[in-house]
Amino acid sequence: MSKYIVRGGLPLAGKIKVHGAKNSILPVLAASLLNKTGEQIRLEKVPALYDVRAMISILSGLGAQVDRDGEDLLLRTANVDCYHVPDALMREMRSSIFLMGPLLGRLGRARLCYPGGCAIGIRPINLHIEGLRALGAVIEEKDGYIEARGQLRGGEVDLAYPSVGATENLILAAATAQGETIIRNAACEPEIVDLQKFLNILGANIKGAGSPVIKIKGVPGLHGGSFRVFPDRIVAGTYLLAAAITGGSVTVEEVIPEHLQALLRLLRQAGVSVMVAGSSVTVSGGRLKAISRVETKPYPGFPTDLQPPLVACLTLASGSSTMIEHVFKGRFHHVAELRKMGARISVHGHRAVISGVPLLKGAVVRATDLRAGAALVLAALAARGESQILGIKHIERGYDRLPEALRSLGARIFRVDGVEKEAIS
């Protein structure tokens, strides 16, 4: 079993760049299915993530040709003719549900197994289904499968919740549907803006991403083009929280500070020094002050993906903090593992109360999902002694070469390879 070995207690220091955003590249890869021409799509500096490999496997299985050119990906999607996403790959990555939109748009059909639950919640898809039906799709859910078919046409969709995936699915379904689509109460996450930019480069006609109302004028088809997703705001936030928890000083370079505003406000509230200069953000400082109440919210609120790493930081803060998780019910699986390191946290439904302790001690802990794993890495960096972190496949879904990145900032963290079967080559 592969694992990370961490010897904590050293403040991190230095400068680091951040790889492309996982939650931009995944919908952008799905969007490439809408290019029926023989023209190539070049995606620049694509991060080497498990989830990216999973999506590439899915696209290849549907008939796309995907080649690596250095750090870039070259996609040719003229021969996409399969509408059934293989079950094993669908189960590898539940967020592949946003393949329904482009498959319906391209082939008029889509067949996926139900995404099912995972460590951070049951992952319902009702908003995706209702929205696609409003665009003319006939969708049946039976025997664990979702069968969708139909000639999509423009329509109006009012999302009951600003779901990121549902917003992306509907944009992809509407991009080549006949007529205009309006999505209201759309997710405002920056990744939606990145997706709109990419689609418009390929010839789509989309406006309003980043706001709650998105307008899509359907076009007959898309063509090739080149694109680079923006830096991963959650990875950038994780590095800054690594500086905060170890009492060091880290500068993340070539990021978009606006994407990090909610986190930076909270770090200032916790008494940490935060400096923004152009596309760089520096966090430095000693022991955090407790933050009486933090609530996760859709963008531009504090992002749920940084909740576990911030909880890890608050375990060492002076005083008691309360974290309220509004986005995913039950996203506190990191708490049991942090307790093994000496953290004092009590969970009551979607609320966690963290009582700061003077120090954490190294332990053997297990990541249950991507961001819970990141929280454990941060706690291990600050803990006294050695920690072993198991279940690192979860972490490597969203962090490209995390040990190397943290070692460049002075951390003592090493990956020990075990023998494990990977579903994705």
Residues that bind ligand EPZ (CB under 6 A): 22-23, 26, 95, 120-121, 123-128, 161, 163-166, 187, 189, 304-305, 327-328, 370-371, 398
Q: Which is closer to ligand EPZ, CB of 209 or CB of 272?
A: 209
Strand partners, 73: 43, 68
CB of 127 to ligand EPZ, least distance (A): 3
Are the C-beta atoms of 281 and 252 separated by less than 8 Å? yes
Nearer to ligand EPZ, 85 or 370 (CB): 370
Based on the residue annotation, tell me whether 118 is a catalytic residue of this protein: yes
What is the four-CA torsion angle of 111, 114, 64, 423, rounded to 10 degrees? -140
Least gap, CB of 97 to ligand EPZ (angstroms): 8
Would you say 68 and 209 are in contact if contact means Cβ atoms under 8 Å apart?
A: no
CB 279 within 8 A of CB 309: no
Q: Min. distance of Cβ 23 from ligand EPZ in angstroms?
A: 3
For the four alpha carbons of 32, 36, 42 and 48, in that order, the dihedral sign comes to positive
- Based on CB atoms, which residue is closest to ligand EPZ, 244 or 367? 367
Least separation in angstroms between residue 38's CB and ligand EPZ is 29
Shortest CB 202 distance to ligand EPZ, Å: 20
Structure tokens at 372: 């819970």
In this structure, how many other beta carbons lie within 10 angstroms of the beta carbon of residue 196? 20
Two tokens, residue 354: 């963290």
Cβ atoms < 10 Å from Cβ of 25 = 27
What is the DSSP secondary-structure string of 137-180? -EEEEETTEEEEE---B--EEE-SS--HHHHHHHHHHHTTSBSE
Nearer to ligand EPZ, 134 or 219 (CB): 134
C-beta of 265 vs 329, nearer to ligand EPZ: 329
82, 113, 118, 313: which one is catalytic? 118
The first and second tokens of residue 286, run together, are 């000693």
Task: Indicate which residues carry an active-site annotation.
Answer: 118
